[in-house]
Amino acid sequence: RVLKLIGQEASRARMLVGWRTPIPTTSKTMDEGGKGPAMNYIYQNVGVSAELMVNLVGQGRIMLDGQIEISGAREGPPVGAGGEKAPLIGTFQQSLRVIVADGKKLRIAEAPDPEGGTVSLDIEATVLP
């Protein structure tokens, strides 16, 4: 998959590509009505997230400074009496400060995929006219 992120000189470029995964949780206490534990959901972003500062450093080179996060979900063990399964979220985070040459690819992140293999993120920066 190819994703495009466009940023201006001396600006912060942000990207979030993925989905929000509901994670079931059960409370351990009784509610005010005397009912047992309740099922609640929290939501976690899953996919690729990047926040990078973009600066031109001359001669067709671009400095990228910021954070990259790659996360994936897989089925976890049952939660609570209903047997609903909570996803397990695996997350790889990386801080980076790199200089990319105009038109050249650079692999900036690679993490194991919970389903097998790897997930990687390459950047190919281009200085637009």
User: What is the tens place of the pLDDT at every residue in 45-97?
Assistant: 888 888 989 888 888 888 989 998 888 777 777 766 666 677 778 788 889 89
Closest CA to 123 of 99, 105, 111, 110: 105
- Specify whether the CB–CB gap between 71 and 88 falls below 8 A: no
- Specify whether the CB–CB gap between 72 and 117 falls below 8 A: no
Quickly count: other Cβ atoms within 10 Å of residue 70's Cβ. 23
Higher pLDDT, 11 or 119: 11
Question: What stretches of 35-103 adopt beta strand conformation (E)?
Answer: 39-58, 61-79, 84-101
Is the model's pLDDT at 36 over the cut of 70? no
Report residue 110's pLDDT band, with 50, 70 and 90 as the boundaries. confident
Q: Name the percent of the chain lying above pLDDT 90.
A: 5
Amino acid at 53: M
Residues 6+ apart with CB under 8 A from 19: 45, 46, 47
Residue 112 token pair: 């194991």
Average pLDDT, the chain: 79
- Specify whether the CB–CB gap between 76 and 70 falls below 8 A: no
Is the model's pLDDT at 2 over the cut of 90? no
